[in-house]
Amino acid sequence: KPAGLTVHPAPGHRDGTLVNGLLAHCPDLPGIGGKMRPGIVHRLDKDTSGCMVVAKSQAALMSLQRQIAQRSCSRRYLGLVHGVLPREEGVWDGPIGRHPVDRRRYAVVSEECGRQARTHWRVLERLGDYSLAHFQLETGRTHQIRVHCSHGGHPIVGDPLYSRCRRLPMALPGQMLHAVELGLDHPLTQERIVCSAEPPPCFQGLLRRLRTPGA
């Protein structure tokens, strides 16, 4: 999925979504998983790019959703964050729920107000005032990586909700967060499938610029 593409229709955004495109390509999808989210197993935020899986049968949908619930489906992300992460690797563990003031956002909240969320991270490269990190989701809450990074003091570069008022090294179309790898068991054959996607040109261009300061 490219950055800038909304996954499914919502109030005020009925057209131009991934679901609209899927329905044009696969007319049988409406009966799979409901009218508004046909075939959608999981979602990516509008401005997050990368790997997604879509089910083309009810059996496949149930199998894939079960894998996500049982955490046997692996989801790995690349993210560029502000600042220097304090260690080479770690875990952010904090319940996530609606922000108490801004209802567009989510936040780390008390256990009574949120759902368990756990994000593993590992530094891949330190680039001056930025860090390129690998993230692996143990849970899949809305905005999870973005919220945990922001709560930890290292918001995702270009994030319009959780990294406001931060100077950027170049104009960006959205947050520098990319679903680089998705691993799952085929619903029929049980064969392990691992899909990967290269980061988009803007992500790679920003990394090149940070690797050659002054160029």
**Residues forming the active site:** 45
In the block, residue with structure tokens 């502000």 = 82
**Cα distances (angstroms) measured from residue 170 to each of 26, 103, 157, 176:** 38, 29, 11, 12
- Contact between 154 and 166 (Cβ < 8 Å): no
Q: Give the angle subtended at the CA of 166 by the CAs of 155 and 200, to the nearest 5°.
A: 65
* Distance of alpha carbon 2 from alpha carbon 154, whole angstroms: 24
- Contact between 119 and 133 (Cβ < 8 Å): no
Q: Give the angle subtended at the CA of 113 by the CAs of 94 and 153, to the nearest 5°.
A: 35
- Contact between 148 and 117 (Cβ < 8 Å): yes
Q: What is the dihedral of CA 70, 43, 90, 103, to 10 degrees?
A: -110
DSSP character at residue 101: S
